[in-house]
Structure 1
Amino acid sequence: MTDTLSDRLVARIRETGPITVAAYMAECLADPGDGYYMRGDPFGTAGDFVTAPEVSQMFGELIGAWTLALWYKIGAPDPVRLVELGPGRGTLMADFLRVASLDPAFLKAASLHLVEISPALKQRQAETLSGAPLTPEWHDRFEDVPDGPALVVANEFFDALPVHQFVRTESGWQERLVGLDADGALAFVVGSTRLPDTAVPAACRGAKVGAILETSPASTAAMAAIADRIVKHGGGALAIDYGHLATAPGDTFQAVRGHAYADPLKKPGQADLTAHVDFQALGEAAEAAGAVAHSGLTQADFLLRLGLIERAGRLGHGQEERVQNDIRDAVERLAGPDAMGHLFKVLAVTGPGILPEPFDSRPAAPHDP
């Protein structure tokens, strides 16, 4: 007799009733035995999806240069904790540290901390960073990182944190749950829990019946913890993810398996589950903790202002045509309007009085679909 995650979820729902989308998402991603991120390496062309660091070394290099500039802008504290949340294969950090190695003062001041729950990915990160100039320490929670000023990088981290969904009904916003259909299969149902009117964002109050509102207490709590750390100890944070700059209704809960969209209720634990990040909510959480949120940029805005084109030119100079074409393709994937460029947004968080580039340069173009 099999005992799959799907079997256990069905049995749980039969016994105690439907569960929230957030609880379902958490089980599918982090179940100790069958959770998606606990089973192996989902990244790259052989996995289920490709992240920006896997597209090109230029992504991690530019983030490294940005972080070094921020370190100097906040007074070059020594020591400083360099923290990455959800480091994937360690690719971004490997490229980051190649840039950091050009600055001995930063390497002397910094210690490297990776926040990761997956044993398999911790092993992969250790292999990737085996020759890096900083030796990583791993933590299951951001709160476990030692005190002191921190520079935090979170690329495609917040999209994997659980979301709650609410459905607009005639009587208000009621929570959407995962229950069972007439055949005993997992299915979406509407529960009796109602979102108080005072908790409904202003942008969603005029939504039509049937609209979906997503909230992520896990995301806002994580950002609040980061911002609180920055306010108390100094530092800064950079979050890059796909999502929207302004809170709005919409059903963005999705599954990806084998580089294609899949039914999120089919084969629990065997597909990546994500939801679009609400950058307005993240910024508000940071500012409620006393930090300053710098937003309004797409990934294209951010990378192009940091010198993506110039870096691509230097990488391609003197190379054969095939290499130059690959570099051009990478630029298009990272910054093109039909790829990651406009879908992904960027948020920086600092203490008061700090204006990190390129957020203090010319206004961003309005690219929020």
Structure 2
Amino acid sequence: MQPERFDHFMARANAAYYATHDFSQDFTTAPELTQVFGELLGAWAKTVWAMMGAPEGIMLAEAGPGRGVLMADAMRVWPAANVHLLETSPRLRAQQAARVPRATWHESLATIPPGPLILLANEFLDALPVRQFVRRPTGWVERHVSHGAYVEIPTDYPLPDDPEGSVREVNEAALDFCAALAVRGAIALFIDYGPAQSAPGESVQAIAGGKYADPLTTPGTADLTAHVDFAAIKARHNAQGPVKQNEFLTALGLFQRSDALARKNPARAEALKLAARRLTAPEAMGSLFKCLALCPKGFPTLPGFE
């Protein structure tokens, strides 16, 4: 069996993981922490639709919708949109259908009908497969996987002249996804983790059973992710941001909405307060996670990116 390029290995491993595992047992995403997160994104999308001129037939899509929690919360704020969900896992589609029954499902962006589109994606790009390169004395090599170990194969892929031992990760899948959105003139909001500026370094990690694991061991049993290269996306497409998640959510009214819910339901007050803190605290998700919006050139400043 020939060595498998690492991005192909990662794609296959994640497809198997999401088809068979309940990710909520391994990690918690922002929509699962508090309904306020999805409600704010629903309000954001509705405002953006108005900024677009309120076109008829607007489509609201989500990439990587998990259990459907974010979209269900968003639709409480904006129920009028035509909802499209990008999901390949039959198991997750069933969970999403229970929460968003009138959605239309797609395996790729290509089958979403033409027309005005707003797309939300929370912790989606980080799960897309990355290519990994290592600088050796003789030049760059690319990592492949064979029998649970890395195999390095020389490459002529164009990369910076980094010092020996440097690692570079390139997410071609993320760049292609953003390119497809740009071609159709969509507005897309990405919330994910990674640095604001491109830099060498290895960021791939695996989570299994709520703990860090070896990404090469028993593929399909762990969630594999990598930091998002926001600067690489912005260098190729018109975009606003990235801004830190705490700045973005605070600007949208996270604390005001959480407080309003707490007053209506005192029994949930402490949980709502803790969730808001976790989403915004620099030592938690507030600084690591960034928000980036793709939009047509010349589009006005979007909410949260002032």
User: What is the match of residue 258 of structure 1?
Assistant: 209
TM-score (norm 2): 0.96
Counterpart of 1:245 (choices 196, 200, 203) is 196
Tell me: higher relative CO, structure 1 or 2? Use CA pairs within 8 A at least 6 residues apart: 2
User: What is the match of residue 156 of structure 1?
Assistant: 123
Q: Is the 8 A contact 1:20 1:176 kept in 2?
A: yes
Compute the displacement of 1:112 (Å).
0.9
For residues 56-92 of structure 1, what are the alpha-carbon distances to aligned partners after superposition, in whole Å with 9 as ceiling and x for unaligned? Answer: 0011011111111110001111011111111100000
Query: Partners of 1:136 and 1:59 in 2: how far apart?
Result: 20
Query: Partners of 1:76 and 1:319 in 2: how far apart?
Result: 34
SS in 2 for 1:342: coil
Query: Partners of 2:146 and 2:285 in 1: how far apart?
Result: 34
User: What is the match of residue 275 of structure 1?
Assistant: 226
User: What is the match of residue 283 of structure 2?
Assistant: 338
Structure 2 gap segments, 5+ residues each: none
Aligned ranges for residues 1-369 of structure 1 at < 5 Å?
A: 15-16=1-2, 18-30=3-15, 35-43=16-24, 47-101=25-79, 107=80, 110-130=81-101, 135-180=102-147, 186-195=148-157, 199-201=158-160, 205=161, 207-230=162-185, 235-285=186-236, 287=237, 292-317=238-263, 319-320=265-266, 323-354=268-299, 355-359=301-305, 361=306
Compute the displacement of 1:319 (Å).
4.0
For residues 294-336 of structure 1, what are the alpha-carbon distances to aligned partners after superposition, in whole Å with 9 as ceiling and x for unaligned? Answer: 013011111011111111111112543x522211110111111
Query: Partners of 1:213 and 1:282 in 2: how far apart?
Result: 15
Which protein has the larger Cα radius of gyration, Structure 1 or Structure 2?
1
Query: Partners of 2:163 and 2:229 in 1: how far apart?
Result: 20
Q: Is the 8 A contact 1:165 1:175 kept in 2?
A: yes
For residues 246-293 of structure 1, what are the alpha-carbon distances to aligned partners after superposition, in whole Å with 9 as ceiling and x for unaligned? Answer: 1111111110012211111112100101111101112223x2xxxx20
Query: Partners of 2:277 and 2:125 in 1: how far apart?
Result: 24
Identity of aligned residues (%): 44
TM-score (norm 1): 0.80
Q: Is the 8 A contact 1:41 1:120 kept in 2?
A: no
Amino acid paired to 1:193: T
Q: What is the aligned-residue RMSD (CA, Å)?
A: 1.4
Compute the displacement of 1:358 (Å).
2.1
Find runs of 4+ consecutive structure 1 residues off by over 6 angstroms: none
Q: Is the 8 A contact 1:175 1:194 kept in 2?
A: no
For residues 96-151 of structure 1, what are the alpha-carbon distances to aligned partners after superposition, in whole Å with 9 as ceiling and x for unaligned? Answer: 000114xxxxx1xx311111000000000001224xxxx10101111100000101
